Amino acid sequence: MSDTSSDAERIMVVDDTPENLTLLNDMLRHGGYQVFALPSGEMALRAAAKNPPDLILLDINMPGLNGYEVCKRLKADEHLAEIPVIFLSAYNETEHKITAFQAGGVDYITKPFQSEEVEARVRIHLKLRQLQRELHEQNLNLESLVAQRTRELEEAYERLRRLDHVKSDFLTMISHEMRTPLNGILGLAQMAMDLAPESAERTELWEMYEITRRRVDRLLDDAETLNSLDSTRDHTQLSRISLGEAFHEAELMAAPSRVLADFPSGFASICVLGEYSLLRRVLEALIQLAACFTSAGNTVNVAGTLEQDRVRLDFALDNLQLSEEKAVGFFEIDSLARSSSLAEPLALAPVVAHRIITLFRGDVRFIRQDA
């Protein structure tokens, strides 16, 4: 007989026939299992509650509680329900087997049993039990991992939300607080210009001053607009506005750029979803952007088409001077390609235009035509 270790799998054998208990006890101990042999169902339930086994071999026809009732009580206990129960019985009729499986049994061995069959079925169901435990542990680990990742994502989202709030506050502060000292500096510069005598040099400096002043004002306006767009992105209400009206006003605002529009009949009367002042600002920025990349100076050619339920405006560029890679990231706020391109004087205006178009569920991008 083989010795059994303390970590060997535990099998409970329940049978009111002493000869069967002895035979099964010797057989299973020889296989290396810990065996608990009990002669009644009542004793089996009490013992299982104190020290749950890994598997139970259960006789059906016993005095007092029969095997069916014992199995039902085991399955009704959440701490014992997962223990596999193999029924032992001299009954070979199908109805008895069905009743056994309905009671919660996983297998059925008919007496007189063969040791090889008992050992094989015990081994199979213990292996299945082990696999069930491993699967349960893996599920618990997975649930724990998912919960941990969820907490990490929630914490990361909260950090991003706080950082976004800080960024928003910073941009608001910059756009507001910088205006006062800048107005003072620009005012002093204008006073100095006024005191200077008329000359070609003064005229040149005045033009440089005006360009710089406009760029500073526009940069602060664009920064404030970007901030407001990010904070109200999910709450902006779009309405139907006249494309032609917004485009015409954008032409006037984009002067001295001259626009040559090729629009089909009725195109200008089309209404689009958006917000009027923002759409006008987008169109103005796109006209100015196109002028930067057009060799004809301030003359911009634009064609309009209607594709299903979407409006498309194509600005003809013949002096883009951007690689395809740089063109892709051109509208990002930190784009070095934009800040070092011919569109550098526009500062953040292209970024603002892109954000607004995205808010209107549209897109702005450079498209290279095949030669």
Better-predicted residue by pLDDT, 324 or 218: 324
Q: Give the global pTM.
A: 0.49
pLDDT in tens, 166-196: 666 666 665 655 666 676 777 777 787 777 7
Residues 315 and 286: their CA atoms lie apart, in Å, by 8
At residue 351 the predicted structure's pLDDT band, cuts being 50, 70 and 90, is: confident
Tell me the three-class secondary structure of the chain, residue by residue: CCCCCCCCCEEEEECCCHHHHHHHHHHHHHCCCEEEEECCHHHHHHHHHHCCCCEEEEECCCCCCCHHHHHHHHHHCCCCCCCCEEEEECCCCHHHHHHHHHHCCCEEEECCCCHHHHHHHHHHHHHHHHHHHHHHHHHHHHHHHHHHHHHHHHHHHHHHHHHHHHHHHHHHHHHHHCHHHHHHHHHHHHHHHHHCCCCHHHHHHHHHHHHHHHHHHHHHHHHHHHHHHHHHCCCCCCEEEEHHHHHHHHHHHCCCCEEEEECCCCHHHCEEEECHHHHHHHHHHHHHHHHHCCCCCCEEEEEEEEECCEEEEEECCCCCCCCHHHHHCCCCCCCHHHHCCCCHHHCCHHHHHHHHHHHCCCCCCCCCCCC
- pLDDT for residue 13: 95
Unique residue bearing structure tokens 């929630």: 154
Residues 211 and 209: their CA atoms lie apart, in Å, by 5
pLDDT in tens, 64-116: 899 999 999 999 999 999 999 999 998 888 999 999 999 999 999 998 888 89
- Which is nearest to 105 in space by CA: 60, 65, 135? 60
- Which is nearest to 289 in space by CA: 262, 263, 316, 271? 316
pLDDT in tens, 255-293: 777 889 898 888 888 888 888 888 888 899 899 899 989
Residues 224 and 183: their CA atoms lie apart, in Å, by 17
Unique residue bearing structure tokens 């002895």: 22
Residues 313 and 253: their CA atoms lie apart, in Å, by 18
Percent of the chain whose pLDDT exceeds 70: 88
The mean-pLDDT minimum among 3-7, 37-41, 261-265, 346-350 falls in: 3-7
Which tokens in the block code for residue 79? 């701490």
∠ CA 88-94-100, rounded to 5°: 45
- Which is nearest to 278 in space by CA: 216, 353, 348, 368? 353
Q: What's the average model confidence in pLDDT over 308-313?
A: 86
Please write down the long-range contacts of 209-213, taking CB distance under 8 Å and 24 or more positions apart. Answer: 211/345, 213/186
**Do 48 and 78 touch, CB atoms closer than 8 A?**
no
Better-predicted residue by pLDDT, 198 or 176: 198
20-40 per-residue burial string, b: 16 or more CB within 10 A, e: under 16: bbebbbebbbebebbbbbbbb
Residues 190 and 209: their CA atoms lie apart, in Å, by 8
- Which is nearest to 220 in space by CA: 261, 182, 271? 182
- pLDDT for residue 6: 61
Residues 131 and 32: their CA atoms lie apart, in Å, by 20
Residues 190 and 23: their CA atoms lie apart, in Å, by 112
